[in-house]
Amino acid sequence: MQTKLMLSHPRLIWRLVMPLVLIVVGAFIGLSLYLPTAFRTAALDTAYDSNINMLQQARILRSYYGKTVAVKVGKSDHFKFAVNHANLPNAIPLPTTFLQEVAAKLGDEQSRLKLISPYSWPYRDPVPMSADEKELWETLKKEPSRVVSHEDTIDGKRYLHTAIADRMDEPSCVSCHNSDVMSPKRDWKLGDVRGILEISNLLEPHYAAAEKRSYMVLGSIGAVMLPVVLTLLVVAWIVDRRTREKEEVARRLSELTNFDTMTGVLTRQSFIDITSVVLKDKTYKSGFSIHLLNLGGVATANQLHGTPCGDQMIRDAVRRLREGLPEHTLIGRLGGNRFVVAGLGPESQAEVRAFVANLMALMEQPFSFNQAEIPMLVSIGSAIQGSDGERCVEQLLQKAEIALATAKHSPGANALIFDQAMRDTLEDRQRLLAMIEKALSKGGFELHYQSVHDAVTARIKGFEALIRLRGTDGRLIPPDDFISVAEASGAICEIGAWTIREACRVAANLPADTFMAVNLSPVQFRARHFEQPGIAEVVMAALAETGLPAHRLELEITEGLFLDRNDAVIAELLKLHEIGVSLAMDDFGTGYSSLSYLWHLPVDKIKLDRSFVTGWSESPETATPIIEAITGLAKALDKRMTVEGIETPEQAKYFADLGCGMVQGFYYSRPLPEADLAVSLLRFVGTHAPPLSDEMTGWVSAKA
């Protein structure tokens, strides 16, 4: 509990200790200011008490001398009073003289007793009184019982003067003074004030002793307080240091938990937590949108230049976002090459589209690494907070995911904003994916075979294996509907391996002069990314398992396979060529065409796409030069040629006259299941082709 308290209030220890330290230090300072003054006051009181005590003693001594000695002397004939008694053998001092002489003997620099009186002393000249003494006389004359005390500085030294009245307190004194001829007056009465007894006490020794005592006391207190203060500070420092260490650990854990270590942006959960707070704030009335970014160029960067290049590309993307987006924009990393941005402010579709366009502009510039430029290839999926006030970040993220997936699978659309149709499409894709996975595990795929014919004789030269997926309703689902889903999930690698094995098995049971063509997906050349065997390994295993000679297997590839200019793809093609299989360029002329592939790569055949056949039928003048150019190129490079999509006798005759070699299409045969292949072979025995028209039959016979 204490640890949690410390962590929740990191400076709590100082808040507790520092007031105590300040109290102790303040108390010591207060004592330092108070004690010297208190001790000085006590010293002054001590000096005052000492003066009073000495005055009382002087009064007692004077009274005793007058009452005891003076009375006996007055009755004696042998002794007499004399001022100069020291020179007379039978003389003794008068009481006043006695007191003065005793005071002179006892007095020193620190303490002096003085008798003050306006009356003349017997046998002495009168001593004039100072103004202060006169004032003191008047005071004590009016108030004989009063003690008068004051401080004074004499020759730079401070003295405490204390005075009391010297009164006629003995009848013998009154009688003696009234009868003595030298007495200044004759009407003395008991209690009359005859003079002043004043003690002057030097204060410096008292003050010095007081100061010394105060220092000793302060030293003793300080000796106790200092260890206490030091102990408190040391304990506070130790606790604070440990607390700071725990804070640092907590901070690092928070960074690891809430921030991506590579880029410093928010993690997925932190992004969701913060944006959820924004959306739940009812006072927030501005627009809100979520944008998911996928950096498609990272994989290429890793392949070409290693992971440091891909990591630097990710950091550079974050830098662009931070520098190019408004300061309040939230940025998070969902992992790998995927990022999320919260658009705070844009409300309408147009504003969001402008925001997305800004995102694309930030990312469209190529990334430079070691003087090489690598395209970012960014896809963006966006979702806008609905007019219904939807305030769930998770739902918006889900919608943005759908938009991103749609953008990645939609040609020419690299940034899309979610709409309901995308969800429907994605759900269809998910259903298809579930069917694909079920078909893989329970044998739900089928192969149908379309025959490939000699363009002149119409004899069957081989078959093309075409995969089909049977739906839950029993109907066949064409490849165009599910192949893209299988490619996106990587399932195409397992499907392709099964297709090659099955096609080789069927081909092994066909006539030895026929071949079997199998279409390959570009994804199959990246099978190792999905932890699947490479395409060359799959082909070798299928040939070994079925016993089919390698030259009877034809693998069809598309021009899209070479878009990445991947050395690994070319290496795999060379392996296939070394095995002895035939390679055909499918859909030639419709994709990313590069004539250099025809002599740099081991391509044995060109398959002219059906779109040229349709184009020739619709506009012979336009299509004929292109078709003839492609045919001439194939002949010049000694490449076999197959024309797809033959559906009419006119098309069959034209391409046969052109010398294209082989043809296939619905005019000859639709794709058939394995059970119907024997019948198909029988139909095209010899030179007679039953599907041909009478005119074409004669034409084929003549050519044969």
Task: Give the CATH number of the domain where residue 311 resides.
Answer: 3.30.70.270
- Do 43 and 148 share a structural domain? yes
Helix (H, G, I), strand (E, B) or coil at 337: coil
- Do 379 and 319 share a structural domain? yes
Number of structural domains, the chain?
A: 3
- The structure tokens listed for 319 are 């830098």
Structure confidence by residue, pLDDT tens digits, 171-207: 877 877 777 777 777 788 888 888 888 888 888 888 8
Last residue of a domain, one of 362, 389, 418: 418
Cβ(419)–Cβ(321) under 8 Å?
no
Residue 450 has a pLDDT of 94
Query: Would residue 246 count as lying in a domain?
Result: no
Query: Would residue 40 count as lying in a domain?
Result: yes
Q: Looking at per-residue confidence, does 478 or 164 come out higher?
A: 164
Comparing 12-16, 548-552, 570-574, 670-674, which segment has the lowest mean pLDDT?
Answer: 12-16
Give the mean pLDDT of 143-162. 87
Residue 11 has a pLDDT of 64
Cβ(110)–Cβ(205) under 8 Å?
yes
Place of tokens 């402010």: 345
- Do 270 and 157 share a structural domain? no
CA atoms within 13 A of residue 106's CA, in its CB half-sphere:
18
Q: CA 680, CA 704: separation in Å to the nearest integer? A: 20
Element (H, E) at 568: helix 567-579
Residue 701 has a pLDDT of 39
Last residue of a domain, one of 398, 418, 438: 418
Structure confidence by residue, pLDDT tens digits, 647-665: 999 999 999 999 999 999 9
Residue 541 has a pLDDT of 94
Structure confidence by residue, pLDDT tens digits, 571-617: 888 899 999 999 998 877 665 555 666 666 788 898 988 889 998 98
33-37, 89-93, 139-143 — which one is most confidently predicted on average? 139-143
CATH code at position 151:
3.30.450.20
Query: Would residue 220 count as lying in a domain?
Result: no
Helix (H, G, I), strand (E, B) or coil at 479: helix
Q: CA 664, CA 452: separation in Å to the nearest integer? A: 5
Query: Would residue 400 count as lying in a domain?
Result: yes
Comparing 19-33, 113-127, 589-603, 636-650, which segment has the lowest mean pLDDT?
Answer: 589-603
Rounded to 5 degrees, φ, ψ at 99 are: -65, -40
Q: CA 702, CA 509: separation in Å to the nearest integer? A: 32
Domain of 585, in residue numbers:
429-703
- Do 372 and 470 share a structural domain? no
Q: CA 551, CA 515: separation in Å to the nearest integer? A: 8
pLDDT at 320 over 50: yes
* Cα-only R_g, the chain: 61
Element (H, E) at 296: none
Q: 500-520 burial string, b = 16+ CB within 10 Å, else e?
A: bbbbbbbbbebeeebbbbbbb
The CA–CA distances, whole Å, from 436 to 365, 440, 441 equal 38, 6, 9
Helix (H, G, I), strand (E, B) or coil at 94: coil
- Do 460 and 399 share a structural domain? no
Comparing 13-27, 34-48, 505-519, 545-559, which segment has the lowest mean pLDDT?
Answer: 13-27
Structure confidence by residue, pLDDT tens digits, 671-692: 999 999 888 888 886 544 444 4
- Do 275 and 173 share a structural domain? no
What is the bridge-based pairing of β-strands 80-81 and 91-92?
parallel
Residue 223 has a pLDDT of 86
**pLDDT band for position 122 (50/70/90)?**
low
- Do 62 and 121 share a structural domain? yes
What is the bridge-based pairing of β-strands 553-558 and 582-588?
parallel
Cβ(467)–Cβ(495) under 8 Å?
yes
In the chain, % of residues over pLDDT 90:
16
Q: Which residues contact 98 (CB under 8 A, 6 or more apart)?
A: 62, 65, 69, 92
pLDDT at 246 over 90: no
pLDDT at 284 over 70: no
Rounded to 5 degrees, φ, ψ at 12 are: -65, -40
Query: Would residue 215 count as lying in a domain?
Result: no
Residue 7 has a pLDDT of 38
- Do 291 and 395 share a structural domain? yes
Burial category of 289 from C-beta neighbours within 10 Å (exposed 0-12, middle 13-18, buried 19 and up): buried
Query: Would residue 249 count as lying in a domain?
Result: no
Comparing 103-107, 254-258, 464-468, 557-561, which segment has the lowest mean pLDDT?
Answer: 254-258
Give the mean pLDDT of 347-353. 79
Residue 696 has a pLDDT of 44
- Do 691 and 649 share a structural domain? yes
**pLDDT band for position 282 (50/70/90)?**
low
pLDDT at 431 over 50: yes
pLDDT at 380 over 70: yes
- The structure tokens listed for 80 are 């007499």
Query: Would residue 7 count as lying in a domain?
Result: no
Q: CA 587, CA 610: separation in Å to the nearest integer? A: 8
Q: 610-621 burial string, b = 16+ CB within 10 Å, else e?
A: bebbebbeeeee
Residue 553 has a pLDDT of 95
Last residue of a domain, one of 394, 418, 442: 418
CA atoms within 13 A of residue 343's CA, in its CB half-sphere:
30
In the chain, % of residues over pLDDT 70:
86
pLDDT at 643 over 90: yes
pLDDT at 694 over 50: no
Residue 107 has a pLDDT of 67
Query: Would residue 146 count as lying in a domain?
Result: yes
pLDDT at 703 over 60: no
DSSP 28-47: HHHHHHHHHHHHHHHHHHHH
- Do 55 and 197 share a structural domain? yes
- The structure tokens listed for 199 are 């003690």
Helix (H, G, I), strand (E, B) or coil at 214: helix
**pLDDT band for position 516 (50/70/90)?**
very high
Residue (of 548, 554, 550, 497) closest to 525 by Cα position: 497
- The structure tokens listed for 677 are 């292949």
Give the mean pLDDT of 487-513. 91
Burial category of 694 from C-beta neighbours within 10 Å (exposed 0-12, middle 13-18, buried 19 and up): exposed
Give the mean pLDDT of 391-407. 83
CATH code at position 567:
3.20.20.450
Q: CA 451, CA 663: separation in Å to the nearest integer? A: 9
- Do 370 and 337 share a structural domain? yes
Cβ(133)–Cβ(117) under 8 Å?
no
Residue 613 has a pLDDT of 92
Q: CA 561, CA 565: separation in Å to the nearest integer? A: 8
Mean pLDDT of the chain: 81
- Do 506 and 404 share a structural domain? no
